[in-house]
Amino acid sequence: MQQTVSPKKSETYELKLLKSEPGLMPLLKVGDIVEARLIEKTGRGGVYFDIPRVGLGVIYGSELSNSREIVKKLNVGDTVSAKVAVRENAEGIVELSLSEATKQKAWQEIKDLREEGEPTKVKIVAANSGGLIADLLGVQAFLPASQLSPEHYPQEAEGNKTKIIEALKQFVGQELTVKVINFTPRTNKLIISEREVLSEGAKEALSKYKVGEVVNCIVSGVANFGAFVRFADDPSIEGLIYISELSHSIIDNPKEVVKVGDMVKASILEIKDGRVSLSIKSLEENPWEKVGEKFKEDSVVPGIVYRITPFGAFVKLDPQISGLIHVSEFGSLEELKKNLELNQSYQFLIASVKPDVKRIILKLAK
């Protein structure tokens, strides 16, 4: 009757044989990635692999628990990438890690995607008020709401965390095409963007436009930081008009100026990396150019306090011009708040007018 030799004894003998023949066995280092062929599953006792030109490899203990889902999918004879955890244990066997190898391989593929700028599909697994959580090659990735395509950005929920989460939850279970924009394997940080995918096609389309050109646009979305617009003659191009470029008037929300569907004229401010920023304000007459005709130093004018900050209060003098009364006029922020209330009108003395820096300094009239 033929005697059965256990994998451990047989492979230990092979390791000794290979060591006796210099040059036959590659010198493994902890952290090396090797291709290993599954030869035996023994439950809790371990899972054994054949490592070509090396000998026997094993996965057991906590590493086996960590790799349980990977091992379940393997059949005897299958080959898989594994990471060397221990070059040679007391029994002469190489201890392997499947989970670490899978993770390392995933990060390498992620690095390649970033360097090559290739788009890839991810599955959305969760949502929060900041954006979406996705699975990319087994690594958790974060897709910030600001990096969603304008089509998917929760514009109507802007500023309301509960509504934002509800709007984003609709994407859970779906696949989105994204690009890797930032990653740090050491801290498991992976940031992806859907907006970056769109910018590739926009680069070519934008090549026929130049800075300073005036274009007709249709407002496609409104957020608290500005308005998204599509070019009327090429709707595939979407740009952004920041709130500061919407109007010379003092506004707290872009919705005070524009709404979805509006047709507007805007000047191209910048074209960079497939993105375009525009301005409506630049096409309007600048009220600061003639501000000295209306607001003169040492005159007293009415104004409405519309914002209080640690360094002073901003005062609306007319729909387009504001002034600042510094906190030093009151000695402290607490005293300022005692003397000035939001949305209330007061009489102010104009201390200085500086049109070149768009600044009017005020004092409280006595």
The CATH homologous superfamily to which domain 32-113 belongs is Nucleic acid-binding proteins (2.40.50.140)
Q: What tens digit of pLDDT does each residue of 325-338 get? A: 999 999 999 999 99
Average pLDDT over residues 193-202: 75
Is-above-0.85 flag for pTM?
Answer: no
> Band of the pLDDT at 105, cuts 50, 70, 90?
confident
> Could you tell me the residue ranges of all domains in the chain?
32-113, 117-198, 208-283, 290-364
Average pLDDT over residues 286-303: 91
The CATH homologous superfamily to which domain 208-283 belongs is Nucleic acid-binding proteins (2.40.50.140)
37 touches 53 (CB < 8 A): no
The CA distance from 111 to 359, in Å, is 48
The CA distance from 264 to 284, in Å, is 12
User: Could you tell me which of 143, 165, 145 has the C-alpha nearest to residue 153?
Assistant: 145
Q: Which residues contact 144 (CB under 8 A, 6 or more apart)?
A: 130, 131, 191, 193
Q: May I ask the CATH architecture of the domain 117-198?
A: Beta Barrel (2.40)
Q: Give the pLDDT score at 281.
A: 93
Place of tokens 């011009």: 321
- CA distances to 1, 260, 314 from 292, in Å: 111, 36, 19
User: Could you tell me which of 199, 187, 235, 193 has the C-alpha nearest to residue 215?
Assistant: 235
String of b and e for 112-142 (b: at least 16 CB within 10 Å)? ebbeeeebbebebeebeeebbbbebbebebb
Residue with the bigger pLDDT between 206 and 258: it is 258
290-364: which CATH topology? OB fold (Dihydrolipoamide Acetyltransferase, E2P) (2.40.50)
Place of tokens 């950005």: 153
Copy the structure tokens of residue 93: 């066997």
Q: Give the pLDDT score at 1.
A: 40
Average pLDDT over residues 12-34: 60
The CA distance from 306 to 7, in Å, is 80
